Chain A
Amino acid sequence: MHRLELRIGPVSFRIGSAWQRPLDQLRRLYAGYPPAETPCDFTVRLEPARPWRRFVRPSLTITGDYWLPDTAPLPLSLGLLAAEMGMNLQMALGQRRYLLLHAAAVEREGRAVLMTGLSGAGKSTLAALLGERGWRFMGDEFALLGLDDGLLHAFPRAVSLKNEALPLFAGVVAERLGPLLEGTPKGTIRHLRPDREAIMRMDEPARPVLILFPRFGADLASAVRPVGAAEVFVRLTQASTNYVALAERGFAALTGLVTAVPGRAIDYANGGEAVALVETLWEETR
């Protein structure tokens, strides 16, 4: 078993793989991240789907401390994606120290914006765009809400840029980009390492001041709609994988968040519009 340890924010992973290549890709993508803490929080394993699949048309299954039955194997060429999915899986099923929200987050002046919504709503792209324009990127997949402090803790994994979002980041230095992954279940994906600031400051939590529900659509008119606390609450319970498991502490943390922080749904047709909307709304929370 080849081995790599990785720390992202407060969570350390031990990743074991039957092949060296996915780990090399991972090491390159996460260059500059701090060393893992011992012991690691979670173990991820990338194993041949069948013993002979190590060599013949290699395909891997994602497993680890926590796993789901009947997950479809991926070809070795998507090993990097598999490692990322493996880490997501551990967080989604095993995280108990933070309320886990399926959301992106960015921060400026210690005040954070949470962006949540269905897959494809554009939260990843938007968070990454903001990260390139003076905001601190805190994560595009999971936001960690502290159960005791009510603060957002950064989990700045590599951003997974999908299909049409790719050209928006054509300008970044090549060194920050992972290999082009074609034919994934979500189309073409390329990972982007967050900028230096996001990595240097990953241990700094931030106070959430705004919860956004972005919606991207080429023909949508730019719009903002307030979302009431009750609706935000329900939508965030649906966006959390461990809300039920955390029981009363999860409820307390989430009610604390939605009563203190305003919610807004935003529609936008392009990235520039979205960035402007976020900045205006963020200013208004002062």
Chain B
Amino acid sequence: MSAAAVARLLADPGSAAEVKDWTSILAAARAESLAGSLAFRLKGMTLPEKVELLLEDARTGAEAGRTQALWEAEMARRALAPLGVPVILLKGTAYAAAGLEAATGRSIGDLDILVPREALPDVERALLADGWEWVKEDPYDDLYYRQWMHELPPLIHSTRDRMIDVHHTILPLTARPKPDAEALLLASIPLGDGLQILHPADMVVHAAAHLFADGDLAGGLRNLWDIDRLLREFSSRGYEFTVELRERAWEHQLEPAVARALRLARALYGTPVDHALAGRRQATDSLFLRRLVARDGWGRPTRRGLRFAFYLRSHWLRMPPLMLARHLWRKARR
């Protein structure tokens, strides 16, 4: 029992009756931040009493986490409201605020927001004035973030102990694809309380970009589950979404990432997808799949070599070779 078994259960809750080792399922699900999602997915099924008890704990925990995440968004809203700039919620908090299915049971860590790039200095000042402070004090990291990243260095609130990531676009500036941040802002949808969310197609593009065009796939199983939930919910709203997703993926230069997300969601979670956009199965897909489920029933990461390869890939995606060399040199000498 392992992360692969967790993915199978998410895709097919009916198979819960065959599970022998729930301790391992829970350990793997917790390690992948999927315990809450799984618990809601299995809600209402007839399961052994102790299993039911532990799943209920996970549901309670996820509900409390959701309340906390929404409160944190409200705190940011209050801090930023006087600036009059659009504040777009991203990822988990956005799903929760918009009442999307993807938020059901989802663990939510940091608060992620997107603001116009020109508003960054004001946003930074307003947050610092309202109790947030820097997490990293290292000048190299700080400069690195400001020069090359798609977000400010992370801030943490001094009393609530919650992190906020302030983005101005959805990929590092050094990455090869150049998403259109202005188009993201223009198409964003107001929630009515002064906060906004991304347009559904942009939301999926962002989730795919975050998973496959940036980072080393850590937490990927959860992020791909987000994509499954988003695709199912938005597709059910009609044909239009499929067209919009194709257009937006192309506009943001993220067709490969979106296509990969569709193929892997289909493979792992049985997500119905737009076959034209998903494209042909690629040889590398199986490497991604193996990396996504690289965890055993003790919750331990497995496939060390493959993990490291994806770690290297994340740096490769992020920077041109010469810059990467300089960056690693700098980090190694620390």
Contact = CB atoms under 8 A, between A and B. Distances in A.
Contact of B298 (A1, A38, A66, A245): A1
B61 A38 contact: no
A34 B58 CA distance: 25
B23 A39 contact: yes
Is the interface on chain B under 10, 10 to 19, 20 to 34, or 35 or more residues?
A: 20 to 34
Interface in B254-310: 298-300
Interface string A234-266: 000000000001110000000000000000000
Nearest to B27: A43
A64 interface: yes
A101 B30 CA distance: 23
A43 B30 CA distance: 10
By size class, the interface of chain A is 10 to 19
B4 interface: no
Contacts of A16: 298
Contact of A38 (B23, B30, B300): B23
Instruction: State the main secondary structure of chain A at its contact with B.
Output: loop
Nearest to B29: A65
Interface string B23-67: 101110011000000000000000010110110011011001001
A45 B53 contact: no
B316 interface: no
Interface in A1-59: 1, 14, 16, 37-41, 43, 45, 47
Given A39-B50, A40-B23, A96 B60 contact: yes
Nearest to B53: A97
A43 B23 contact: yes
B40 to A, nearest CB: 15
A223 to B, nearest CB: 35
Nearest 10 A/B pairs, CB to CB: A39-B22, A39-B23, A96-B57, A43-B27, A65-B30, A40-B23, A247-B64, A96-B61, A14-B23, A16-B298
Interface of B: 21-23, 25-27, 30-31, 48, 50-51, 53-54, 57-58, 60-61, 64, 67, 298-300
Interface of A: 1, 14, 16, 37-41, 43, 45, 47, 64-66, 96-97, 245-247
